[in-house]
Amino acid sequence: MCDFDGGDDGFWDMDTGDFAILGGVFGYAEEECEERRRLEREAEKEQEEIDRFNNCEYCDDFDDDPYP
């Protein structure tokens, strides 16, 4: 595994397994970022629907009092 004992090679003293672990970590982080972006887009779409419903011109024609 990784040897950071201050040898001549330093960071490059890592073997293939170390790079595989780092690749897995970066891949997981990338998937989490994509999932967060997807959820944010869905939340924005839902908010747009709510705003569109709340700003309905047809709904504004009705009084708040159902029995005038």
Look at residue 3 in the predicted model and tell me its pLDDT.
54
CB atoms under 10 Å from CB of 18, counted, come to 14
State how far the Cα of 19 lies from the Cα of 8, in Å rounded to an integer. Answer: 19
Q: For residue 21, is pLDDT > 80?
A: yes
Look at residue 66 in the predicted model and tell me its pLDDT.
62
pLDDT (tens digit, 9 = 90+) per residue, 29-63?
999 999 999 999 999 999 998 888 887 666 655 55
> What are the tokens at 36?
């967060």
Look at residue 12 in the predicted model and tell me its pLDDT.
63
What average pLDDT does this structure show over 19-36? 93
How much is the pTM? 0.54
